[in-house]
Amino acid sequence: MGQIFKKICRQLLSFVCDQYIVLFLILTTAYKQFLFNSNILNKGEWLTPQIFFIIFSSAIIFSPLFFIRRHKNKIAILFSFFISFLLIVDTVYFSYFSALPSVGLLGSLGQTESIGPAIAALIEWWFILYFIDIALVLISYKTLKKFFIKLRIKFKIKKTYIKTTWVIFALLLVGLWLSLMNIGGISDLTGVFEKGYDTVSTSNNYGVLAAHGIDVARFIREETTSLSNKDKKALIDWVKINKPKQTTNSLTGIAKGKNVIMIQIESLGGFVINQKIDGKEITPNLNDLAKSSQYFPNDRFIIGEGHTSDTDFVVNSSYFPLDDAAVFVRFGHDNFTSLPKTLITNGYSADAYHGFNRNFWNRNVAYKSLGYQKFYAADNYPKGFDINMGLNDGTFLSKTAEYIKDQPKPSFSYVITLSSHVPFSTNDQTDKLGVDKTKYPEQVGGYLDDIHYTDSVLGEFFAKLKTEGLYDDSLILVYGDHTPVLPAFSAGTINYNPDSVSEKEVPLMIKLPGKNEGKTYSNFGSHIDIMPTILDLLGIKTNDLMFGQSLFSSGDKALKICSEQLPAFPTNGDCNSMLTDEKNQSATIIRYNQFNNLAK
């Protein structure tokens, strides 16, 4: 027995002498993943159930190097360098988007040029620590090599038998399997592939490298498979059973035949509405609009990997975005059912307006798929100074009012502002609120100035619509595309906490044509409800599937709210399960372009 134990120990020691650099980089890679998950994704929470899976999965990633004799250590260092670089990309990306990049976004890499300065500002000096293990290996490489050579000589250790390497590899697989069972088992991991969880959720359970691996595998599977006839039938049957019906209420048809102007304000958070700094209103025009409109302060935005472009998609289609890809980029050529298409079939014209590059987020393609007849982008506007990401909102809105005036009536106009975009820089035009930026965390003062500027030129836009007789003759919607990414701060009457419900809420104001009486609604809704709400107010029916419902539905037809504060179908059963089911069905329709198939 003693001889067998000595033999095993000698073989293990021989394995360590052969693989010491690879083993060291396995441990440091696992440790970096663990720190990334606990400190970047989860803000200090330690994920003890996942640490063993992260260690064993890191070992499996490096394990092919166990069987290589030549250049093994050089390959291990290069591999570790790539992983460290990937973690830096993940850190910067998460700091900006609160998400992790996925392979589905590779087609949209060109978009990063436009937001490069904002992303560059997120690069920190401590990122170099991601490479400290590589530096230690390079510095001590010769010393370590001599040490392990002397160790071999002293204990007369031969090279590792290949069967020992296979045994250790098998033990690593067993360890990976046991750690997976501790997390949730094979069925849970299968669910990750089948249900399309986002990379952040996957990373929380399995580590960031496993999350990227799962994302790549899922992407390859989706790109190489098609929806079977059986699955198509199942989808059609699901829609027949679960499709929400358009209902009527006291406001149904109140805007029949009227123009529709839908204004999407960049980074408009609900926490600035009806607030003051030094006695000065931050958004006086929006405050007035809230008083004279149907005001929903608890509206929720829904975005996936497409970020702002997902808001475009959601409000125009009443479908959920994707968690692992930008719908506009990956599936911009889909035959979407949409708000503009529905309105066009009812005699409307439909145009979109955006003061930036028309190809950004593949909008030029996706807007055609949504049915917009014209898309006015930066090349359709007079040259003017830029604020943050694009043409200043003053020039943009002024010219847009002229375009809307000339649109065939009744018209649908989709207007997207940009001046309140990150990095929230200011100039003489926007620095009107009088905020002392040194009193607040970085970007906070700039954001308040920028949103105040957008509010002021929005007031001028409304005045121009009134002059043209369009304001009272139109159904006007104003909402935020999403909240700004800001740290906690207090300013005037604002006490903002990004971890509170305020981080999820954007204002939605619906100005009824010819009406000045306002009402504030406490019920929750989201951007997915905007399309059905507009159709409800216009009195237009559609057979197209919409995952949202009119915000003015009441009683047993009203929206149910899940713990995530997102709407779900008003049916019996667990709300979160229904929401997950809806999102999965929505994703299937998008990925396999089943919009027209459902309309048959």
551-560 pLDDT tens trace: 998 644 445 5
How high is the pLDDT of residue 336?
A: 96
Report the DSSP pairing between strands 259-265 and 411-416: parallel
Helices (H), 254-360: 284-291, 308-317, 327-330, 339-344
Residue with tokens 């031969």: 158
Closest by alpha carbon to 561, among 239, 307, 299? 299
Residue 105: what pLDDT?
Answer: 62
pLDDT digits (tens, 9 = 90+) for 310-366: 999 999 999 999 987 889 878 888 999 999 999 999 999 999 999 998 888 889 899
Domains, the chain:
2-224 (no CATH), 250-599 (3.40.720.10)
Q: Within its chain, how far is the Cα of 355 from the centroid?
A: 22
Kind of pairing between the strands at 560-561 and 567-568: antiparallel
Tell me how many degrees the CA angle 359-361-366 measures, rounded to the nearest 5: 80
Stretches in the chain below the pLDDT threshold 50: 555-558, 563-573
Q: What is the 3-state secondary structure (H, E, C) of 554-595?
A: CHHHCCEECCCCCEECCCCCCHHHHHHHHHHHHHHHHHCCCH
- Beta-bridge partners for 489: 496
Amino acid 243: pLDDT? 86
pLDDT, tens only, 415-457: 999 999 988 988 888 888 888 888 889 899 999 999 999 999 9
| Region for residue 173 given its phi and psi (left: phi exceeds 0; alpha: psi -120 to 50; beta: otherwise) | alpha
User: Encoding tokens for residue 77?
Assistant: 């260092």
Which residues have CB under 8 Å from 241's CB, separation 6+? Answer: none
What's residue 194's pLDDT? 59
Question: Do 375 and 351 meet the contact criterion of CB atoms below 8 Å apart?
Answer: yes
Q: Rounded to an integer, what distance in angstroms lies between the CA atom of residue 161 and that of residue 15?
A: 8
Q: What is the DSSP string of 501-557?
A: GGGGEEEEEEE-TT----EE--S-EEGGGHHHHHHHHHT----S--SS--TT--GGG
